Structure 1
Amino acid sequence: MTEIAGLGSIPNSWKTERAKWLINRQRRPIRPNDFVVTAFRNGDVTLRTNRRTEGFTEAIQEIGYQGVRVGDLVVHSMDGFAGAIGVSDSDGKASPVVHVYTPQPNVDARYLAYVLRRMALSGLVASLAKGIRERSTAFDAATLADLQLPLPPMEEQRRIADFLDVKTAHIDKLHAFRGQQLRDLEERELAIIADMLSGGATSEDGRPTGWPWLPHIPQDWSIGPVYAYFYTELGKMLNPDRSRGSNQRPYLRNANIHWYEIDTSDVATMHFDPDEVKRYSLSPGDLLVCEGGAGVAEAAIWDGRIAECFFQKSLHRVQRSGKVPVEWLMYWLRFAKSCGVFEAGGNIATIPHLTGEQLRQYRIPIPNNGETLIRRTEQTIKAMAKVRMALNQAQELLAERRQALITAAVTGQFDVASASGRGVVE
């Protein structure tokens, strides 16, 4: 058996060859009616309009753009490490950040794309390539050209590619179905929270709130600012010397907080002066809210699993000061974020933030039977969390099976002409 970095062993009967002898780089001129082709991280290479048009940086002059044709092997130089490698299904044009190749007559572009994506997702590309920006790695033409690749006979390449096209399409269909189930579950969760926050009130029996996202609440409820019902405080500011000193204590940061959950698998420590110990120590029942970042407003309740734990400035600590439980505010934050309330309030900039003053000033519905409503909602959401966990585990298993199947096929671990692919990873 021959060993291939990033793949494993291949049959001795197969050849190996450097990529530069298998593909030819193309630099075609663009045509007036060409639309933009994008290489996505799932391996799709298609017209941008076939997937989505928002969220991309649009070039004004399109300097360096190149022509792409159906059947070209396209490698994204910055996202290739994450799987943005595939065969184009469209004619069009692409930015200079991607490389466009045509295969030699003895190479099937689809087979090569499966090989390169598997090598990239194994971490090989990231280990070889040059870093440019966070979570991205430059997979340049020279790095690709030097890769040693497995090369079975052309007919075998085609059989492998045909087999994987069918099998991965089936797995992707299942993955999409599970993804829709997860989205439906989230939609149901938000509907349950909305019903709790509105007390089930309608336009016929409720009082108007003036909020388009929660238009009515019961007549005997009130509306008030967060500061009237909760104490809020930001945690300790990080400092360059946080890892020094004898009073090293564990603290939580926004990376530890997710909706309803606190992850303590990675807890940092820093120095706390004696006067800071009392101020920033957490007690069971404290609500922790992310102040900034992608998870802005995500919130969970501390359960005291670490006997002495503290919190950093990226988190708000919220404590009850009146009749309203902190769970009520947690669910309000969950629903408000899903409705874009914080964006509408002008709190979301390049780096999202929810400052202490902003949090305190938000007006929320105030129930007169909050404890009962919360317990009922909590039970339902906990049951839904178990379903979500099972669905996420199913998604992970599908992804693992997909990658194992590709690896086994492109390295000749079984005969695709007669195999169903079953048993390879089961």
Structure 2
Amino acid sequence: MSTTVRLRHLAQINPGTPAFNNLKGDDELTFLPMEAVWPDNRLDISQRRTKKEVSTGYTRFQDGDILVPKITPTFEAGRSVLIKGLLGGLGTGTTELHVVRPGKEIDPKFLLYVANTHNFLKLGEAQMYGVAGQQRVPDSFLRDLPVRLPSLEEQRRIVSFLDTEIARIDSLSRLRTTQIRMLAERLDAERDSLFGGSSGDTATPLMHLTDPYRPIVYGIVQAGPEHPDGVPYIKTGDLKNLHPRSLSRTSPEIHRQFRRAAVHPGDLVMAMRASIGAVAIVPPELPEANLTQGTARIAAAKNVCTEWLYNALQTRRVQEQCDLRAVGSTFRTLNIWDLRRVVLWVPHDRKQTEIVAQFRIVESQNSGLANYAQHQIALLSERRQALITSAINGQFDVTTASGRNVTEGVAV
């Protein structure tokens, strides 16, 4: 038998933490920024702060509390955690956390599983308030949340069942993640083999492989305020997604001042700061754009295959040169003079296209396997949440349930 009880009768929502007041100003305790809040062994409790550093403006919690992210998209990602192992049993962290302190009638791990059910996440998402991109779950959602409450004995049976089955699902998911990483490593090795140079290739500085009328240059020094109807410009952080809608925009006047750095579809853009050496091809849907000072335009010469150059720049042989030529310690930068002198090993133009065609076959096979593994991870994630939701909602008897079918439909 079970009853349905509002969460406020089973746990304290955002309670005080009296033990914090007993600390001295120089006493250290665990500190959790949002990026450290992850379920399971991904939780990072290594950071420390003194009491006087976090005495105001931070969320306080203690061992045994459940931390529920309140802001989008972290809440929807199911990143609630049951906290333990804190320094001295106490911690502080970002204000974007709700603290739920379980009472005697509910098992803490059972309550954590409640916070990972489909209905919990969807109900919370529906009650978010605030502007787009900064929406938050109100504490009233937690206080008024109806919780199915079986006996403590039954709660612990459900927890034991879920711990076993979720561990099995997570193990399969980790195997697929490892497979994706190994496929990426295999593709990098194949790229090094095909584009890293061989006997008969000519060692050539990059500046001799580019269009003489469009030399390697960096772009806008100061982009100015965002100009919604202006010209898009590319920053180092944009190289994974060069779609126009994802880019910042500068005024037409600033763009005209730096027109020398304008990029065309098919040009290459390389990061000169931060992720030095990252490279992307400008897509056709970006007919007009500029760059920041942290990126450089590379326009291939007529006798150089752009796709060959794109891959050759990503080889270990070239990336190591970029790293060696970069200057600075905490904020490393590769300057244009050094980039122009990076050496590539160049086959004749017909051989370039043959190498590209050969690599495309490997890349396609690799992509197919990686997509399949990613699909399996998505299926496992769906099965994981469905299993938690069904068990917490009492839709089957965990004492008679078999774990043999929890990954049905997922290849292993």
The TM-score bracket by the shorter chain reads 0.5 to 0.7
Of residues 313-322 and 289-298 in structure 1, the stretch that sits farther from structure 2 once superposed is: 289-298
The more displaced of 413-422 and 100-109 is: 413-422
Could you say if the C-alpha distance between residues 86 and 58 of structure 1 is closer, same or farther in structure 2, counting changes exceeding 3 Å?
closer
> 1:300 maps to what in 2?
281
1:131-163 Cα distance to aligned partner (Å, 9 max, x none): 9xx9888879x5676342413222443233222
Q: Report deviation, 1:380.
A: 1.5
- 1:14 paired with 2:3, answer yes
Structure 2 residue aligned with 1:5: none
Distance 2:68 2:91 in 1: 10
Q: What is the distance in 2 between the residues matched to 1:77 and 1:288?
A: 37
Alignment of 1:12-411 (within 5 A): 14-19=3-8, 21-23=10-12, 25=15, 27-28=18-19, 41-44=37-40, 48=44, 57-59=47-49, 69=63, 72-75=64-67, 81=75, 82-88=77-83, 90=85, 92=87, 93-97=89-93, 103-118=102-117, 121-122=121-122, 124=124, 128=128, 146-154=143-151, 155-199=153-197, 218=199, 221-224=202-205, 226-230=206-210, 231-233=215-217, 242-244=227-229, 253=234, 257-258=239-240, 280=262, 282-283=264-265, 285-289=266-270, 297-300=278-281, 302=283, 304=284, 306=285, 309-314=287-292, 316-321=296-301, 323-336=303-316, 341-342=322-323, 345-346=326-327, 357=336, 360-369=339-348, 371=352, 372-411=354-393
SS at match of 2:81: strand
Query: One-letter code of the match for 2:67?
Result: V
Using a 3 Å threshold, how does the CA distance of structure 1 residues 423 and 101 change in structure 2: closer, same or farther? closer
Deviations 1:380-409 (A, max 9, x none): 223212222222222222222222332333
On the 8 A contact 1:16/1:149 being kept in 2, the answer is yes
CA 1:59–1:88 in structure 2 vs 1: closer, same or farther (change >3 Å)? closer
Summarize deviations over 1:73-94 as a string: whole Å, max 9, x none: 3316678735443334646444
Contact 1:159 1:417 (C-alpha < 8 Å) held by counterparts:
yes
Q: Is the 8 A contact 1:35 1:47 kept in 2?
A: no
Structure 2: gaps of 5 or more residues: none
**1:16 is matched by which residue type in structure 2?**
V
Q: Aligned-pair distance for 1:191?
A: 1.4
Q: Is the 8 A contact 1:405 1:424 kept in 2?
A: no
Q: Is the 8 A contact 1:171 1:402 kept in 2?
A: yes
Equivalent pairs, count? 374
Per-residue deviation, 1:361: 3.2
Give aligned-pair identity as a percent. 19
Deviation at 1:63, TM superposition (A): 5.5
| 8 Å contact kept, 2:165–2:406 | no
Q: Which moved more, 1:263-272 or 1:184-193?
A: 263-272
- 1:186 deviation in Å? 1.4
Q: Secondary structure at the match of 1:107?
A: coil
Which structure features the higher share of helix residues? 2
Q: Distance in 2 between matches of 1:151 and 1:88?
A: 23
Q: Is the 8 Å Cα contact of residues 110 and 161 (structure 1) preserved in structure 2?
A: yes
Alpha-carbon offset, residue 110 of structure 1: 0.7
Instruction: Calculate the TM-score normalised by the size of structure 1.
Output: 0.66
**Cα pair 1:87 1:110 within 8 Å, conserved:** yes
Counterpart of 1:161 in 2: which secondary structure?
helix
- Give the TM-score normalised by the residue count of structure 2: 0.67
Deviations 1:339-387 (A, max 9, x none): 695487137866x8766x2674351223234604333333322321222
Shift of 1:295: 9.3
Contact 2:65-2:83 at 8 Å conserved across structures: yes
* Segment drifting more, 190-199 vs 411-420: 411-420
Structure 1 letter corresponding to 2:108: A
The 3-state SS of whatever aligns with 2:164 is helix
Structure 1 residue 19 displacement after superposition: 3.2
Letter in 2 for 1:171: I
C-alpha change, 1:405 and 1:376, in structure 2 (3 Å) is same
RMSD of aligned alpha carbons: 5.0
Residue 396 of structure 1 aligns with an amino acid whose one-letter code is A
